[in-house]
């Protein structure tokens, strides 16, 4: 991948860093390898959602934040204050995350940028010897999902995806009960998401705000003019940068569904829905349902992002088996028999901290990651496939061995993207 960093110097540093690091699961430098109490030096990139990363890291002993990074001066200032008011070491603020990659003392990078940055940044970080915590969905498209997994393997890095429910005790207990047969053979999972999002309007081309480095914000994505309704959030609803509500919130529910069902790749995917509520710049659907056939099991995810349907009191995920059902609300679950009688329940703490603790423990001691990037990307692929089914308007047929689309050139084109010259991710 070409960048403004001198390529020879960058590769030389990467080689030196890689030589001095242990194998996957114990990748700290020699100063701290294998010690359960060793200090881990961390940097965070993207300080919107990344502010939650900082708060979680600041609450964990022996995690020290060395850098905060954002292309927006105001967010950068806020992130620095957040860290420096609570941490003895004063963090350094940078706009360009590649400065962090140059620092051999940094053990890990957490990434909370827009989706189009997730895989390219993570791949560069792995190549520079950094372990990576990357927010969901972890990739902008299916091909990037393959590349980020390949980078973790090639550079032997610990890479965790930010689908934090994988670390919540109540959800772990729920999946253990499903595995133990609490409702017999599990046959189907249903997932829901509701919200009351307003229209994003029609964007106007305006001068870039002086505090934002828009060229760096675009990064790997081909350049487009600055519009006043994209940065910092509504990029989610444009295919150029985001993946709609499926990649934004659907990933959490579908990951839980895939985990509970014990499946990997589907055989068929369909999506029915559209942008029904408003006539504006949003390209992604606000209402609809995506359905997955796994052969002997199935799943669906339904979205109503402009009307929360609170009167229906829908769970987050529901599992249906031969002997009853299990439903997940928040950080807990309830078990019902075939007549609808509640027979068991459980709960536990949620939040981000426990997922970051798992990530740092995996770096220190080789503890198993709760959402290692390959498992994370299997779930993210469900989102990419759902979006492709919507965009093509037809059913996708999938190879259940590898998750790739079968005999469909139109759909296959949407599995990758064009990149700005010099930013093509490579492993």
Residue 36, pLDDT score? 76
Copy the structure tokens of residue 213.
Answer: 């480095």
Q: Verify that 154 and 259 share a domain, yes or no.
A: no
- CATH code of residue 190: 3.30.360.10
User: Same domain for 150 and 179?
Assistant: no
Look up the domain containing 311 and give its range: 168-201+226-349+373-407
pLDDT of res. 37: 79
Q: Looking at the structure, do residues 182 and 125 belong to the same domain, yes or no?
A: no
| DSSP-assigned letter for residue 415 | G
- The answer to whether residues 64 and 96 belong to one domain is yes
Residues 194 and 268 in one domain: yes
Could you give the CA distance from residue 180 to residue 169 in angstroms, rounded to a whole number? 16
Structure confidence by residue, pLDDT tens digits, 165-180: 999 999 999 999 999 9
Q: Which two tokens stand for residue 151?
A: 């980078």
* Average confidence score pLDDT of the chain: 93
pLDDT higher than 80, residue 21: no
Residue pLDDT, tens place only, 228-284: 999 999 999 999 999 999 999 999 999 999 999 999 999 999 999 999 999 999 999
**CA-CA distance, 194 to 310, in Å (whole number)?**
8
| Phi, psi for residue 141 in degrees, rounded to 5 | -155, 170
Residue 321 to residue 294: CA distance in whole angstroms: 15
If asked whether residues 275 and 332 sit together in one domain, one would say yes
Clarify whether residues 161 and 172 are in a common domain.
no
3-state helix/strand/coil string of 200-262: CCCCCECCCCCCECHHHHHCCCCCCCCECCCCCCHHHHCCCCCCHHHHHHHHHHHHHHHHHHC
Same domain, 29 and 100: yes
CB atoms within 10 A of CB 267: 16
If DSSP codes are grouped into helix, strand and coil, which group holds residue 39?
coil
**Residue 378 counted as domain residue:** yes
Q: Identify the domain boundary among 165, 193, 210.
A: 165
Check which CATH number belongs to the domain holding 129 and give it.
3.40.50.720
Q: How far is CA 138 from the centre of its chain?
A: 4
Number of domains, the chain = 2
Report the side by side order of strands in the sheet with 63-69: 92-94, 63-69, 40-45, 108-111, 131-134, 159-161
Looking at the fold, whether 156 and 176 belong to one and the same domain comes out as no
Q: Which two tokens stand for residue 156?
A: 């032997």
Instruction: Check whether 18 has a pLDDT greater than 70.
Output: no
Cα–Cα dist 338/276, whole Å:
36
DSSP category for residue 309: -
Any idea which residue has 């189009």 for tokens? 116
Backbone angles phi, psi at 186, to 5 degrees: -85, 125
Q: What is the pLDDT of residues 310-348, one digit of tens each?
A: 999 999 999 999 999 999 999 999 999 999 999 999 999
| Dihedrals phi, psi of 217, to nearest 5 degrees | -60, -40
Lowest mean pLDDT among 4-8, 46-50, 159-163, 351-355: 4-8
Residues 146 and 196 in one domain: no
d(C-alpha 89, C-alpha 82), whole Å: 12
Within this chain, do residues 148 and 270 fall inside the same structural domain, yes or no? no
Q: In what order do the strands lie in the sheet with 268-274?
A: 342-346, 332-336, 324-329, 317-321, 186-194, 298-304, 287-293, 268-274, 396-397
């Amino acid at each position: 991948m070409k960048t403004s960093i001198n390529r020879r110097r960058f590769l030389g540093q990467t080689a030196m860093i890689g030589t001095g690091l242990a194998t996957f699961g114990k990748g700290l430098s020699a100063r701290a390898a294998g010690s359960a109490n060793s200090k881990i030096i961390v940097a965070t990139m993207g300080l919107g959602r990344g502010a939650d990363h900082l708060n979680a890291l600041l609450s964990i002993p022996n995690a020290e934040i060395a850098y905060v990074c954002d292309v927006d001066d105001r967010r950068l200032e806020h992130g620095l204050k957040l860290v420096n008011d609570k941490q003895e070491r004063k963090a350094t603020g940078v706009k360009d995350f590649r400065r962090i990659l140059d620092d051999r003392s940094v053990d890990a990078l957490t990434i909370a940028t827009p989706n189009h940055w997730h895989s390219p940044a993570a791949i560069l970080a792995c190549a520079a010897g950094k372990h990576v915590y990357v927010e969901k969905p972890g990739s902008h498209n299916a091909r990037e999902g393959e590349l980020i997994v390949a980078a973790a393997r090639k550079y032997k890095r610990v890479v965790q995806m930010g689908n934090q429910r994988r670390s919540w005790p109540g959800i772990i207990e729920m999946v253990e009960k499903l595995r133990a047969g609490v409702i017999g053979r599990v046959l189907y999972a249903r997932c829901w998401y509701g919200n009351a999002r307003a229209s994003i309007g029609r964007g106007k081309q305006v001068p870039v705000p002086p505090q934002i480095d828009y060229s760096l914000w675009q990064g790997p994505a081909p350049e487009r003019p600055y519009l006043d309704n994209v940065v910092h959030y509504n990029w989610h609803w444009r295919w150029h940068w985001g993946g709609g509500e499926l990649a934004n919130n659907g990933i959490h529910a579908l990951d839980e569904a895939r985990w509970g069902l014990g499946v990997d790749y589907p055989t068929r995917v369909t999506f029915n829905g559209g942008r029904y509520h408003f006539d504006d710049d949003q390209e992604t659907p606000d209402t609809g349902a995506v359905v997955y056939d796994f052969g002997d099991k199935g799943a669906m995810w339904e979205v109503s992002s402009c009307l929360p349907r609170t009167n229906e009191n829908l769970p987050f995920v529901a599992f249906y088996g031969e002997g009853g059902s299990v439903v997940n609300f928040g950080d807990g679950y309830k078990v019902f028999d075939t007549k609808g009688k509640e027979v068991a329940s459980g709960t536990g703490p949620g939040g981000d901290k426990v997922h970051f603790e798992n990530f740092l423990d995996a770096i220190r001691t080789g503890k198993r990651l709760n959402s290692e990037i390959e498992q994370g990307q299997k779930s993210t692929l469900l989102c990419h496939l759902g979006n492709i089914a919507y965009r093509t308007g037809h059913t996708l047929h999938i190879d259940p061995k590898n998750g790739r689309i079968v005999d469909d050139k139109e759909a296959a084109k949407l599995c990758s993207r064009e990149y700005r010259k010099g930013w093509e991710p490579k492993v």
